[in-house]
Structures are given as C-alpha cells and as structure tokens.
C-alpha cells in the first residue's frame, strides 16, 4: 500500500500524457521533474535539446527513486520532432502574451487531458526552459496553453514545481476521495444510539455526584454537554474509553465519599 | 501584472495560513519551500528545530526571490510552541496509520483553510522532516490530517514539492478563472453573423472557381466546411485574415484564368 521507494513499482500507464522538457538547463531539475512525474503517476519523459547534453548524472542524483523514467526518456532535436506522434499538445506558460490561443487552468487542463487520453489519443505537456520559458514558436506547436492560478506578484515556478502541479492535478483528476473523512482504523463511527448511551451514563453519574443539583439549570447544562459531544464524529472505541473515564472518575468519587462518611465522627 | 522577480512585491496576507516545517533537514529545501509559498501567496514561515540551525545560507540561495519569507521566519523549539497562538492546525501526512483523525484531501484542506481564515481564525500547516515525516506526537497536535491523492506506488514527495501542492491549492481555492477560455488580446471572439459572412464569401468564390460544380454533392461539401470553421472559437482578427486569404487566392486564380484566356490563340 505504501509503495516501494526504489521506484520498482513504477509502471507506465499507456493512457497518460507525455512530459516534454524544452531546452532544460539543469540536470538537477530534470531528475526532480522525474520524481514529481512519478508522484503524479506520469511516466513518459521527452527532452528537447537539453543544454548540458544527455544523460546527466546530476539528474540521476535528484530523481530519488524515479530513475526508471530517466532511463526511458527520449532525446529530440526540436519540439516538432518531440510532438510528431501526439494528437494533442498543451503548453504550460505563466505569462502568455500576444498569442491568440485557448488558455486552460491547471485543473481544467488536467480534466481535458484525462478526457482526451481516455479516447485513446496521445497527449503531451510542454514545459519551457528554467529562465525564459517557452518561446513563441514553441507555443505555436500547442493546441492550448495552461496557466496556473498563482500569486501574480511571484508567478515564476521552479521547473520541477511546475511539473509537480500538473502531475498532482493529473492524479487528482482521477481521485474520488471524499474531501473530509474520519480515519477510524479498526473501530467505526459510533451511532447516535451509542452516543446517547454514553450521555445517559455521564448524566446519571453527574446526577449521582451532585454536579447537576441546580435543577433550573440542569436541562441547559445537559444540553451543552450534548452539544459538545455531538460536535464531531466519535468512534465506538472512543465511546468505550469515555465510558471507562466516567466510571473510573465516579468510582474515585464514591470511594472518597465513603471515606469521608467513614471519617465523620 | 507579471510581478517582480526579486520578491519586493511579496506582502503578507494576514488571513493566510502559517507554514510550519518540523525538524527540516536541508537548508536547500527550506529556501525552495519559501519560493513555493510565495508562488501560492503564503508568507508566514515557522521552523521547529531545523537540523542544521538557523539561518542557513543554503536556504537564501534556493529561495529565488522569496528571501523576505526567510527573513520573517520564526524559530521554535517544539511543535507545541510553534502552534500555541493558532486556532486550527492541519498536518500533511502521506501515510497516516494507527491514528483516529479526520483526513482531508489537499483540495478539501485548502477549502477548509480558506473558510476558517475568513472567520479571522489563524491556521497552521505542519510539514514533517524530509525522510521520516511527522511522528505520532506531531500529528496529535493537529485537528486534521491532509493526504494528497498521489501515486500509491511512489507517494513520497520532496518537502518543497509537498509545500508547493498546498500553496497551489491555497491559491486555486480563491481562483475563479474559467477552466477554458480563448485569449484574444486586442481582438474579440467573432459573432455567428461575422462567421456566416466569411462562409458566404468563401462559398461564393468556390462557386466562381468551380470547386462546388458537382451540384448533388454541393450541400454536403458546404456543410462540411461549415462544420470545420465552427469547431472552435474564431476571432474577428482571424476572420479578417481568412477573408484576405480567400480574396488573394481567388485573385491569383482570376489572374491565371485571365492569363489563360489571353493565351488562347
């Protein structure tokens, strides 16, 4: 379930997009890109004219278990060559100007990629070089641009971070985890009847010890306790613990009460 | 609009969550975290017992313009100290086990953070050390855990990548950009009437040159051309260009036609 850190579990999903790094400068970044791709379930990497050649040992150092992606990566002279066998190409571009082109959000882009790949068509994602980004000729190779909704005062992402966002959105686009759930392990969420049973136990003991002796205030105090214990989900195991806490505290009080009675002269 | 790369535009949004790095190991990663935070519009950074002390010059090297966040970062001995003034704490945790805790997706977590911060409450996001992640005592300080929907066969994210995903989701949670739009610059999307006007021009010229001379097939051919030009949005500028293309091609044909006529003996 937790996966193997050495990347031996990394297998290509034939219906996943290709990541194309255009003129990447730093081997460190290429390795970090491979790791980010693997995190998101992407596998296919293509390199267009990497500045320092290919392969580069620095990429292997930063891939942290995603070396299989580097070993399978292909090398290309031009963007046109790298996209030749693809049907759809999206270009990530933080600040597109002077082009007339569809622009997608990262999430919108991931949803379209998912839909297009599901039709058996092959998609590619273009990422530009570290400093300059994609040039106008690169963007002209793309069907659409993808622009992330980031801080306009600080919109330049590190190359591997830019790939991470799309890899994450690709994975998220197939995820149906509820946005919030209670992790309960071996126990389960308690029913209302089980919660009521505990509240009855608690109130009985509070009546017995005199905590609720102010009868006009008693209904409100009981209601406040009920509000508190209703605030979040409670598990069956936690209710058993709470029953035990109340019982033990009450035993102590009873024992002390008996001791005090015994001490009465 | 494009922001300044030196980070001088970075200003804290008082209603944004605090990022708390618990026992971070590498200064490089702390700097990369600051950059990722700035990308997503986060500002407040707290460090709990960084392994190599604080400040570290390596962090300043990788912050790439987000140095203001490092200069404002605070140093803490314990998680308890780092979260003492906060109202809600979420802990990122790739593989939570043996804890009973609400678990949120990254997107669900960002939506809750946005809602809680909007109430004037202060939120924190805990990130564990590079290798081990948060321990059980760290997680016990949190209201809920956040688990990303990543590749189960390769779920270990670099620390700065993990922060990038939440910073991105924080920014995305306030973004209302349509998932797809056509960027049109100085021109605009053409109306159906403008498109019809072009199609009339095109069909008139195709009638004139004889391309549509097969009358039984003519309606289907015209319909196919209409389907093609209707496939995506077309801008007014593009229609002007297309009018020009048809006119020029037709002039060439007329001229050749006239030339051929003139050559008839």
Q: What is the CA radius of gyration of chain A?
A: 30
Question: What ipTM does the predicted assembly reach?
Answer: 0.90
For A11-35, how does the pLDDT look when each residue is reduced to its tens digit (9 = 90+)?
Answer: 888 899 999 999 999 999 999 999 9
A66–B182 C-beta distance less than 8 A: no
pLDDT at A206: 95
Q: How far apart are CA B22 and CA A13, in angstroms?
A: 35
Contact A65, A5 (CB under 8 A): yes
First to last CA, chain B: 67
CA of A153, closest CA in chain B: separation in Å?
Answer: 4
CB contact under 8 A, A105 and B177: yes
pLDDT at A259: 61
Distance from CA of A154 to the nearest CA of B (A): 5
Describe the strand order of the beta sheet including B144-146 as a list of residue ranges.
Answer: A180-183, B101-104, B144-146, B88-92, B123-127, B18-22, B45-48, B74-76
Task: Using a pLDDT cut of 70, give the percent of chain A over it.
Answer: 92
> Which pLDDT score, from 0 to 100, does residue A265 have?
52
Determine the pLDDT at residue B3. Answer: 41
With an 8 Å Cβ cutoff, are A104 and B179 in contact?
A: yes
* Greater pLDDT, B99 or B105: B105
Task: Please write the tens of the pLDDT for every residue from B67-91.
Answer: 999 999 999 999 999 999 999 999 9
Q: What is the band of A184 on the pLDDT scale with cuts at 50, 70, 90?
A: confident
Closest-CA distance, A107 to chain B, in angstroms, reads 7
Strand bridging mode B144-146 / B88-92:
parallel
Query: CB-based contact (8 Å) between A236 and chain B?
Result: no
- Segment A209-228 shows an average pLDDT of 95
State mean pLDDT over A164-183.
96
Contact B105 A2 (CB under 8 A): no
pLDDT range class, residue A264, cuts 50, 70, 90: low
Binned at pLDDT 50, 70 and 90, residue A3 comes out as: very low
Q: Closest approach of chain B CAs to the CA of A253, in angstroms? A: 30
At A98 the pLDDT is 79
Predicted confidence (pLDDT) at residue B96 exceeds the cutoff of 80: no
Share of chain A above pLDDT 90, in %: 82
- Which residues of B are less than 8 Å from A39 in CB distance? 150-151, 154-157, 161
Closest Cβ opposite residue A152 in set B1, B108, B181: B1
Residue B233 in tokens: 């949005």
In B, minimum Cα distance to A105 occurs at B179
Question: Does residue B240 contact residue B194 with C-beta atoms inside 8 Å?
Answer: no
Task: Find chain B residues with C-beta within 8 A of A92's C-beta.
Answer: none
* Residue of B3, B104, B155 lying closest to A180 (CB–CB): B104
By C-alpha distance, which of B201, B200, B186 is closest to B235?
Answer: B186
Place of tokens 């779920």: B155
Pairing mode of beta strands A88-92, B88-92: unpaired
Work out how many CB contacts closer than 8 A connect A with B. 211
- What residues in A contact B180, CB-CB < 8 Å? 102-105, 108, 112, 144
Q: Is A229 on the interface with B (CB under 8 A)?
A: no
Q: What angle do CA A7, A9, A11 make, to 5 degrees?
A: 100
Q: Match 């102010």 to its residue by tokens.
A: A214
Mean pLDDT check: name the lowest of A44-58, A117-131, B59-73, B178-192: B178-192
* Residue A40 forms contact with B (CB below 8 Å): yes
Q: Give Cα separations from A26 to A56, A59, A223, B66, B189 (angstroms).
A: 9, 8, 63, 20, 40
- A186 closest CA partner among B97, B227, B169, B141: B97
Q: How confident is the model at residue B265 (pLDDT cuts 50, 70, 90)?
A: low
Residue numbers in A near B90 (CB within 8 A)? none
pLDDT tens, residue by residue, A49-92:
999 999 999 999 999 999 999 999 999 999 999 999 999 999 99
Rounded distance, CA A153 to CA A88, Å?
31
Between the alpha carbon of residue B163 and those of residues B29, B54, B94, the distances in Å are 10, 19, 13
Radius of gyration of chain B measured on its C-alpha atoms:
30
Q: Predicted confidence band at B143 (pLDDT cuts at 50, 70, 90)?
A: very high
Predicted confidence at residue B4, as pLDDT, reads 45
CB atoms under 10 Å from CB of B60, counted, come to: 17
Residue A201 has pLDDT above 70, yes or no: yes
- Residue A189, CA distances (Å) to A40, A194, B91, B103, B163 in order: 31, 10, 22, 14, 31
CB contact under 8 A, A183 and B102: yes
Contacts of A185 (CB under 8 A, 6+ apart): B98, B99, B100
**A111 near B CB under 8 A:** yes
Percent of chain B with pLDDT over 90: 82
Per mean pLDDT, which range of A38-47, A182-191, A248-257 is the poorest? A248-257
Of B65, B155, B185, the CB nearest to A100: B185
Residue A4 pLDDT class (50, 70, 90 cuts): very low
Confidence of residue B255 (pLDDT cuts 50, 70, 90): low
- In the predicted structure, residue A2 carries a pLDDT above the cut 50: no
Per-residue pLDDT for A196 more than 50?
yes
**Residues 6 or more apart whose Cβ sits within 8 Å of residue B214:** B221
Residue A8 pLDDT: 60
* CA distances, B256 to each of A123, B211, B250, B252, B260 (Å): 43, 16, 10, 6, 6
Q: State the pLDDT at residue A70.
A: 97
A168·B168 Cβ contact <8 A:
yes
pLDDT at A157 over 80: yes
Instruction: Let me know: does B17 contact B125? Beta carbons within 8 Å.
Output: yes
Give residue for tokens 């990369």. B32
Q: Is the pLDDT of residue B2 over 90?
A: no
B224 burial level (CB within 10 Å; 0-12, 13-18, 19+): exposed
Select from A156, A158, A148, A153 the least CA-distant residue to B13.
A153
Residue A73 buriedness (CB in 10 A; 0-12 / 13-18 / 19+): buried
């Amino acid at each position: 379930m937790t996966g193997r850190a050495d990347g031996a579990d990394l297998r290509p999903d034939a219906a996943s997009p290709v990541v194309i790094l255009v003129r990447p400068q730093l081997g460190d970044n290429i390795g970090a890109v491979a790791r980010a791709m693997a995190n998101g379930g992407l596998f296919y990497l293509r390199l267009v004219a990497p500045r320092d050649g290919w392969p580069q040992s620095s990429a292997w150092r930063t891939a942290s278990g995603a070396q299989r992606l580097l070993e399978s990566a292909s090398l290309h002279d031009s963007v046109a060559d790298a996209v030749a066998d693809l049907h759809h190409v999206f270009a990530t571009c933080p600040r597109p100007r002077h082009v007339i082109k569809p622009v997608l959000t990262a999430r919108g882009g991931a949803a379209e990629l998912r839909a297009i790949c599901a039709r058996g068509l092959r998609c590619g994602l273009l990422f530009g070089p570290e400093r300059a980004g994609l040039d106008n000729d690169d963007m002209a190779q793309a069907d659409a641009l993808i622009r992330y909704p980031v801080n306009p005062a600080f919109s330049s992402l590190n190359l591997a971070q830019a790939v991470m966002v799309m890899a994450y959105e690709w994975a998220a686009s197939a995820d149906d985890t509820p946005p919030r759930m209670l992790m309960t392990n071996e126990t389960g969420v308690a029913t209302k009847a089980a919660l009521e049973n505990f509240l009855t136990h608690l109130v009985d003991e509070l009546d017995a010890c005199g905590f609720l002796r102010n009868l006009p205030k008693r209904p409100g105090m009981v209601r406040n306790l009920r509000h508190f214990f209703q605030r979040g989900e409670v598990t069956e195991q936690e209710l058993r613990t709470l029953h035990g806490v109340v019982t033990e505290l009450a035993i102590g009080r009873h024992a002390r009460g008996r001791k005090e009675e015994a001490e009465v002269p």
